[in-house]
Amino acid sequence: MIINIPENSDFSIHNIPFGIFSTVDRTPRAGIAIGDHILDLAAVAELDVFDFNTAVLEKDTLNDFIALGKSITKKVRVDIQHWLKDDDSVLAGKPELFVPQSKANMHMPVAIGDYTDFYSSIEHATNVGKMFRDPENALLPNWKHIPVGYHGRASSIVVSGESIHRPKGQVLPKDASSPVFQASARLDFELEMGFITGKSTEVGESIATNDAEDYIFGMVLLNDWSARDIQKWEYVPLGPFLAKNFASHISPWVVTLEAFEPFRVSGPQQEPKVLPYLEYEGQKNYDIQLKVGITPEGSDEKTVCHSNFKYMYWNMVQQLAHHTINGCNINVGDLYGSGTISGKDENSYGSMLELAWMGTKPIKMNDGTERKFINDGDTVTMRGYSEKDGVRVGFGEVSAKILPAK
């Protein structure tokens, strides 16, 4: 092996995720995470080993590289894997091609033109329905027929490590008849996965479930922040708005769909039967272990959630097929959120709204304080990886600190 990879690293030889990094002497460019290092793809390109226009590797987003198509991006990934394993390859004896991750700054991996957030966990949707509607009829009539979603705000999606300020907005206090303007008192995280499209379509085109994976380049971890008190007041009748669009965080490394091939699993049984355009063949869910930790300022991290992407009722190919069935066009770099990922057990719920059950079951931190929602100074960190038969593929983390409202 050209470079040492620590045991249990998310960035194993089986992964080869793509991202954008910079250092004090390297402008933002494409790289691959391998162990604790980054392989500088722009520097590798100078060895004249690629058969495409390598100027795309010097860009500050991956969009143009992804747009080359999977025939090229998959070959780059496979070639890198072979070169890293071969002590006599083009990478041998060239330490300048590698940068320690600790000395690099990570940037947004793609320029996101559009962002759609789905609502595809039946456990999460049921929990929310029990809290805010009739517990006996928690799911709305359409939920088992369509992958419900809404269009979010792409401009406020930021990369892991960037702190954000607590949002402000209108809130309706308990037993009040008029709203007040204040900083959100119920700031929440939402544990999600996001996928990024790698091909564009024209207005009027639709993508079939059988073809959808050809359009999905890879995945990221996604923290879709939510201001629950603002959301409760504003969401009727048109759904999420200011409670959702102040910020969302993604992990900096995009893990390709190909890296998760060994971790395919069957999804939940869908009843009633879906309409023909939502039918699919094969295993389209993925066994990706997820967890969330909260670190109060000056204290240690407390893990509050263990969940798994395999729980999702609606899968990615169904989401993309439904998104485009009306002729909605998509573009390279668009981001699609899974919706909060919750399981059946209480410790697998993917939001504080559920974990603390609307504040009725506060969670104790390691410093003795309690959390119903997220406090100023708290850092929320999400991690995700798959592991099977000695093969581990992961995302690293998406992490962010909450600052007081401006």
Q: What is the mean pLDDT of residues 272-296?
A: 98
pTM of the model: 0.97
For the segment 271-300, the average pLDDT, to the nearest whole number, is 98
Instruction: Please state, in angstroms and rounded to a whole number, the distance separating the CA atoms of residues 386 and 394.
Output: 6
Q: Is the pLDDT of residue 101 over 90?
A: yes
Question: Does 256 score more than 90 pLDDT?
Answer: yes
| 335 beta partners | 115, 196
pLDDT greater than 90 at residue 212: yes
119 belongs to an annotated ligand binding site: yes
pLDDT of 399 > 90? The answer is yes
* Mean local confidence (pLDDT), 326-337: 98
Is position 334 annotated in a ligand binding site? no
Is 322 noted as a catalytic residue in this protein?
no
Strand partners, 183: 168
Residue 388 falls in which region: left (phi positive, over 0), alpha (psi -120 to 50) or beta:
beta
Predicted local distance difference test score (pLDDT) of residue 167 = 98
The DSSP secondary structure of 258-283, one letter per residue, reads GGGGGGEE-----SSPPPGGG---S-
Read off the pLDDT of residues 360-379 as tens digits, 9 standing for 90 and up.
999 999 999 999 999 999 99
Three-state DSSP class for 118?
strand
pLDDT digits (tens, 9 = 90+) for 20-45: 999 999 999 999 999 999 999 999 99
pLDDT band (50, 70, 90) for residue 134:
confident
Contacts of 346 (CB under 8 A, 6+ apart): 355
Flag whether 115 is marked binding: no
Between 294 and 137, name the one with better pLDDT: 294
pLDDT reading at 222 higher than 90: yes
Give the pLDDT mean for 136-149: 96
- pLDDT tier for residue 133 given thresholds of 50, 70 and 90: confident
Contact 163, 403 (CB under 8 A): yes
Judge whether 136 is annotated as a binding position. no
DSSP character at residue 311: G
Nearest residue to 343 (alpha-carbon basis) of 132, 120, 124:
124
Is 133 assigned to a binding site?
yes
pLDDT in tens, 162-206: 999 999 999 999 999 999 999 999 999 999 999 999 999 999 999
Contacts of 213 (CB under 8 A, 6+ apart): 257, 316, 317
pLDDT score for 273 = 98
* 52 burial via Cβ count (<10 Å: 0-12, 13-18, 19+): middle
Cis status, amide bond into 167, omega within 30 of 0: no
Is residue 116 marked as binding? no
Is 224 annotated in a binding site? The answer is: yes
Catalytic residue chosen out of the listed positions 14, 37, 107, 124? 124
At residue 73, the pLDDT reads 98
- For residue 231, say whether it is annotated as part of any ligand binding site: yes
For residue 286, the model assigns a pLDDT of 98
| Sign of the torsion formed by the C-alpha atoms of 165, 155, 107 and 289 | positive
The answer to the question of whether 244 is labelled as a binding residue is yes
Sequence-distant (6+) residues with CB within 8 A of 84 are: 1, 2, 3, 13, 34, 39, 91
| Domains recognised in the chain with CATH numbers | 18-107 (2.30.30.230), 115-403 (3.90.850.10)
